[in-house]
Amino acid sequence: MSQNLFIGSLAYSTTDDGLKAHFEQIGEVKSARVITDRESGRSKGFGFVEFADEANNQKAVDDLNGKELDGREINVSLARPKEDRPRRDNNGGNGGGSFRQRSW
């Protein structure tokens, strides 16, 4: 599995295409994705970039970390591996309702 870059502090207006174009100044980008909220579709302010050549990862961190993209200074770092974690259900363990069950 190839190493991705984590891009933080993205402007809410940044798109996948804008992110890709910004990182192509370093080298060929295999994928660029801005993470969005599932329900509203609005950017969560971070994303991931994957280069065709992993040697470009460190160059991107060195050259683009702290630089401006769409009016915001972005944070560029190596992404941590995705952890296996249980799927979150929205029932919070209390039966799913917003009311407590009465015990009497």
In a domain, 57, yes or no: yes
User: Structural domain tally of the chain?
Assistant: 1
In a domain, 88, yes or no: no
Q: In one letter, which amino acid is 56?
A: N
pTM: 0.79
* Nearest-angstrom CA–CA distance, 89 and 1: 28
And the tokens for 45?
A: 């302010």
In a domain, 68, yes or no: yes
Q: What is the pLDDT of residue 61?
A: 97
Distances, alpha carbon 62 to alpha carbons 26, 59, 78, 91, 98, in Å: 11, 5, 11, 43, 48
In a domain, 97, yes or no: no
Maximum distance among all Cα pairs of the chain, rounded to whole angstroms: 67
The whole domain housing 44 covers 5-78
pLDDT digits (tens, 9 = 90+) for 48-102: 999 999 999 999 999 999 999 999 999 999 999 877 767 666 555 555 555 666 6
For residue 72, the domain's CATH number is 3.30.70.330
